[in-house]
Structure 1
């Protein structure tokens, strides 16, 4: 860990609002910035990073040239909760510390999830189609009260989702790697292990995925699992795109194995223009935007500033990622 006497040089791969640039400078850090827009080709490193010991980034691509250019790097602060863009063999083997923004996006993701659930329940997608066609026709609707929501990936985001679901008088079944006894004030009605996921699939009227990308979760939702869901159910993914076998889901939506899906994340992003999801009338698409609100960057920077202070003092950092687990 860095000592308070060592010069702090931060290389930022993302744009930082000016007020936070000033706060970082006030902490005695040298800030080098080369902003990169997610989805575009990552720019070439133009700075001398030999003295750089901290990197702020969303991911590391292009053969991890940053690690090659910055031999003294000690810490990477990710502006993401998911680690699929950061955990490569090189970063796993490197002794650098990786921290993420766990908790910073839980509220907007939870609110986005509720928006998708209520949209489906009230037939909003069909109403929009009818409006575009200038067709006066009632949409098929359902009530949320008493319905069951299964949350696969019951961590911080899952809990925020569950809190809001309970306000709608719905039942919540959380599903996580290991079952646990409900804590006091836990919003879920029960929390089960992944071994019991099939029961959750069969009971859920709305199935919400809030999973990280790991070897265990890759294509966790496939044809076999989808076939266990109710024909009247909806699937909502706000976790990671590769947790769903997309070909299987496309078939299920086309054949009405389930009623619909709301997808914020995909195996390939941006979603290609010729992808079948775009043309399915029972599929709602958002461009990996569930995490965002005007307050998101404030939460990111708050975590980063706290970690800069802790790093300078040699204290344990917040939100350290377990490289073996992948989160």
Structure 2
């Protein structure tokens, strides 16, 4: 967006947002209309004329933006999720519509969740809980986090926050990213940052592998049998990125034969995870219901970002968290 005089844009919202935030939006916008689309429900039809709206606030995980055919004036679409895969069809990629997301708003809680999973896998917590239920008093094999190596595949905002906490536990941290020369600032917690072309080496060196990858054509089914076999025998896997980055059948086989000692999985290709999925029953797997992002402060972080962008849009200034459509994040 180029600089221009201040405007009062109109906003159409497809997610449920508390009234106190809506009132703040109304202080900036000329009109705000809310017609929530509940996750898992059939897409509702708008009851208002969309041709007058400038901004669409929706959920990038399930809105393919076909609604924009009725909203030709939309200049900016904001996703209430970090994932925007459903949005990025060829028409949207070719259009001038700006896409933003909530990247960064969940980095801290996801990092804290990751540390909880790392510690649980290292200390045998899944076995401990089963033994408690069965009143079984048996010594449990454990692994030290101190001096172990964690490889963070997808070393972005989330990976950075994970790395900071892993260093506090005395771990060696290897970050792996598309652009290994990129730095967040003066402080860099990772001991080594490698390129995605070196990912096999990262896998072979890591006692713990954390997947924090975005959804792109390059990350789809990234962790397959070939890459799993490159992982250190007895290593552990944590996935807090996207569910479709793992070939489930290949991981299940590796968990059963003991090549991978255990896994903590927060995201899945099909959600909710089907009741008959093997992940539920494997004793060396911890399943969480796409909950790593969750935090008592999550909504406040998301609203603070959107309000900041709403003011920038009103002032004709560039927005924050703009998605690079070609990359997918």
Please give the TM-score of this superposition, normalised by the length of structure 2: 0.94
Cα 1:68/1:61, change in 2 over 3 Å: farther
Is residue 39–residue 269 contact of structure 1 (8 Å, CA) maintained in 2? no
Is residue 42–residue 61 contact of structure 1 (8 Å, CA) maintained in 2? no
Helix, strand or coil at the partner of 1:214: coil
Whole-angstrom distance in 2 between the partners of 1:300 and 1:181: 25
Which aligned runs of 4 or more in structure 1 are off by greater than 6 angstroms? Answer: none
Q: Deviations over 1:92-151 (max 9, x none)?
A: 122200011121110000000000000011111101111121212222211111010000
Aligned to 2:175: 174
Whole-angstrom distance in 2 between the partners of 1:291 and 1:207: 19
Is residue 10–residue 30 contact of structure 1 (8 Å, CA) maintained in 2? yes
Q: Deviations over 1:38-65 (max 9, x none)?
A: 3333333223211111111112757633
Q: Kindly state the Cα deviation for residue 270 of structure 1 after the two structures are TM-superposed.
A: 1.6
Whole-angstrom distance in 2 between the partners of 1:169 and 1:62: 42
- Work out which of the residue numbers 184, 201, 204 in structure 1 matches 2:203: 201
Task: Note the 1:1-327 alignment, pairs <5 A.
Answer: 1=1, 4=5, 6-59=7-60, 61=62, 64-180=65-181, 184-327=186-329
Q: Kindly state the Cα deviation for residue 164 of structure 1 after the two structures are TM-superposed.
A: 0.4
Helix, strand or coil at the partner of 2:78: strand
Q: Kindly state the Cα deviation for residue 247 of structure 1 after the two structures are TM-superposed.
A: 1.5
Whole-angstrom distance in 2 between the partners of 1:41 and 1:165: 42
Q: Kindly state the Cα deviation for residue 298 of structure 1 after the two structures are TM-superposed.
A: 0.6
Cα 1:82/1:60, change in 2 over 3 Å: closer
Cα 1:155/1:63, change in 2 over 3 Å: closer
Whole-angstrom distance in 2 between the partners of 1:127 and 1:56: 44
Q: Kindly state the Cα deviation for residue 241 of structure 1 after the two structures are TM-superposed.
A: 0.9
Q: Any stretches of 5+ residues in structure 2 without a counterpart?
A: none
Whole-angstrom distance in 1 between the partners of 2:87 and 2:167: 35
Is residue 39–residue 270 contact of structure 1 (8 Å, CA) maintained in 2? no
Cα 1:9/1:181, change in 2 over 3 Å: closer
Cα 1:97/1:286, change in 2 over 3 Å: same
Whole-angstrom distance in 1 between the partners of 2:235 and 2:204: 9
Cα 1:267/1:232, change in 2 over 3 Å: same
